[in-house]
Amino acid sequence: MLYFGYGSNMPRARIEERVGRCARLGAACLSGWRLAFHKRGADGSAKCDASFTGDPGDRLWGALDRMSDDQMDELDRYEQGYDRRTVQVQFDGGTVCAVLYVARASRIGPKLRPYHWYKELVLAGARELGLPRGYVDSIEAVSSFPDPCRERADRNRAVLNEGRLPGPKKSPGLFA
């Protein structure tokens, strides 16, 4: 199954910490959608969402990974408040079918902001994938704030600093 990860699951280290090794195919794009930081996470901060606009000029960029059904089931544990949806993404000069997660309407809050560490994960993935400069700039422009839970911030930053989380896999609640 092809998975299109557009937010904090773009860094390879992050997605592989969650589901194990998977085949990273590269950057892909979804037309008529945009990136929004408006999904309310379990920690109360903003998380990314794939927001449908219908405007063919809007672009949602992300990572395309090949995963097993078991890996997708594992990812479901982390993606609370989202539903899977199958879409057509542009990849390598063609179009392929992929699964992404879309926030449930009940979890959207337009005035939410992400924690600094969360925005850093999204930016790291965008840079790792070599996404267009203007797209990266738009992520950089998103207002964020410090996480009051230092342990959660440190654990999530470890993905960027070490390429993996230290110690055993923790419950999804630390990442949501």
| Two tokens, residue 47 | 């998380």
With beta carbons less than 8 A apart as the criterion, state whether 51 and 33 touch. yes
Neighbours of 42 (CB within 10 A): 14
Q: How many residues does the chain have?
A: 176
Cβ-Cβ contacts under 8 Å for 93 (sequence gap 6 or more): none
CA dist., res. 99 & res. 85, Å (int):
6
The pLDDT of residue 122 is 98
The pLDDT of residue 168 is 35
Tens of each residue's pLDDT in the chain, 176 residues: 999 999 999 999 999 999 999 999 999 999 999 999 999 999 999 999 999 999 999 999 999 999 999 999 999 999 999 999 999 999 999 999 999 999 999 999 989 999 999 999 999 999 999 999 999 999 999 999 999 999 999 999 998 887 643 333 443 443 34
Q: In degrees to the nearest 10, what's the CA dihedral of 129, 135, 141, 143?
A: -70
CA dist., res. 171 & res. 176, Å (int):
9
The pLDDT of residue 169 is 40
With beta carbons less than 8 A apart as the criterion, state whether 67 and 1 touch. yes
Sign of CA dihedral 158, 160, 165, 166: negative
Running DSSP on this structure, what letter comes out for residue 11?
S
CA dist., res. 105 & res. 65, Å (int):
26
